Structure 1
Amino acid sequence: MSHRLPLPSSRRRSTVQLPSHLSLPGHVRQRVDCSTLQIPAVPTSLDTGQLSPARYNAASGGESMPMQDSKPNEEIQAAYEHLITGARTGVLLTLRNGHPFGSHVPYLLGADWSCAYLHLSRLALHTQHLLEDFRVSLFIAEPDEPGKNPLALQRLNVQGTARILPVDHESYESVKQRYLAKFPQSKMMFGFGDFALWELRMRDAHLVLGFGQAYQASAASPTQWHHQTPDKKA
């Protein structure tokens, strides 16, 4: 006789039919008929209900961390320059079927964060994503090491769009030479036909220098940093 597991009615969401080649031996099926076993459906998303700060604190069981006073703009800019000097690689975020996809990449910045250059192979998944959707983000973080608080590491996130830099572009050769000066190991890659320079035109930047020390800037004024506080929309 076939039996069903006694699941609460609220959890009887879907029925899974087991393929014939995975059928269990008869003496097992006498106890549980897996071909009609009902398994609760897995939710595909988490409903946050547009949590307000108060509701978020109630849900997390704590209060918000107190904000720190804003640093002088010169100090923020100096911290930004120190960060990008110490971190030669970052994480490139592309869109894959509407979902973020991260890749480890070396990067070269232009005069400021609003322009960056990558040397990518068209065989790589992230390049294939860019050919379908040019929206992109680049995440750069202070290198971690024992003794540091990983939650307090300085980091930069910039968002914008990407485009291929043609070899006949007026700035191609200068960008190439700057890239090779920073990454001499890439010289051989410039001889491969599947590699190309990509230019990232960044629109917004989000810089974190520690707890309560988040700053934003726009490409219109890339060196002017504004303190991000809970009452300001990110």
Structure 2
Amino acid sequence: MTMISEPTSPTPHEPRLNRALRKLIHTQRVAALGTLNAQGKPFVSMVPFAIEPDSATLVIHVSLLAPHTRNLLSDPAVSLMVMQAEAPLEPVHALPRVSLDGTAARLTPDSAAWQAARSAYLARFPEAEMMTRLGDFSFFAIKVTEARHIAGFGSARPLAPEDLTSVLHYL
């Protein structure tokens, strides 16, 4: 089992909601990925994700055999949801979560962006090292363009681009 350290803030003056979002994104390792198929119908799947801080992108490593990968290749528009795990006896309506909309780009094997994505991914999922050598898997970098953060019941906000970049840039 991989231990996940709690992220630290880049400055002591980081807003409380940004700290909460940073903790959510850096402690949850799985997202619901929404793509559109060739007929324009939505398709949702589960993907492990990592954060590549230099480019402020989310990184996924997916098989070309998977429907969501085929969808990404035909339409790079994506939406992801990252949410805190449910806790017994806690209200599910208050679960912290963030919806992230963006564009996915398939990374060219052995390019600088691919190497950075692979490093970020393996830092989070070292057990996936062998999978990164399989020919039917590809890294995709997701550039997030919009986000909506729910920090708890009654605490919802659109995320300003500079806040999102700050959260993703800093580990």
Q: 1:133 to 1:213 in 2, by over 3 A?
A: same
Q: Counterpart of 1:56?
A: none
**Aligned counterparts of 2:160 and 2:52: Cα–Cα separation in 1:** 15
**1:83 paired residue number:** 24
Give the TM-score normalised by structure 2. Answer: 0.82
In 1, Cα distance between equivalents of 2:115 and 2:25: 23
Q: 1:99 to 1:114 in 2, by over 3 A?
A: farther
Task: Give the whole-Å Cα distance in 1 for the aligned partners of 2:56 and 2:123.
Answer: 21
Q: Structure 2 unaligned segments of length 5 or more: list them.
A: 1-12, 167-171
Q: Are residues 1:211 and 2:158 paired?
A: no
Two-structure CA RMSD over aligned residues (Å): 2.2
Any runs of at least 4 consecutive aligned residues in structure 1 with deviations exceeding 2 A, and if so which?
Answer: 110-114, 218-224
5+ residue gaps, structure 1, are 1-71, 225-234
Task: State the AA in 2 paired with 1:89.
Answer: V
Residues 185-231 of structure 1: CA distance to partner in whole angstroms, max 9, x if unpaired?
Answer: 2111112100010011110010001122111124355268xxxxxxx
Q: TM-score, normalised by structure 1?
A: 0.61
How many residues are paired up? 154
User: Whose strand proportion is higher, 1 or 2?
Assistant: 2
Moved more, 154-163 or 177-186: 177-186
In 2, the alpha carbon distance for the partners of 1:208 and 1:112 equals: 25
Larger Rg: 1
Higher relative contact order (CA 8 A, sep 6+): 2
Asked if structure 2 preserves the Cα contact closer than 8 Å seen for 1:113 and 1:222, the reply is no
Report the residue type matching 1:107 in the other structure. F
Of all paired residues, the percent bearing the same amino acid is 33
What letter is aligned with 1:145? A
**157 and 114 in structure 1: CA distance in 2 versus 1, 3 angstrom threshold:** farther
Whether the 8 Å contact between 2:63 and 2:138 is mirrored in structure 1 is: yes
1:59-138 equivalences in 2 (<5 Å)? 74-96=15-37, 97-111=39-53, 115-138=57-80
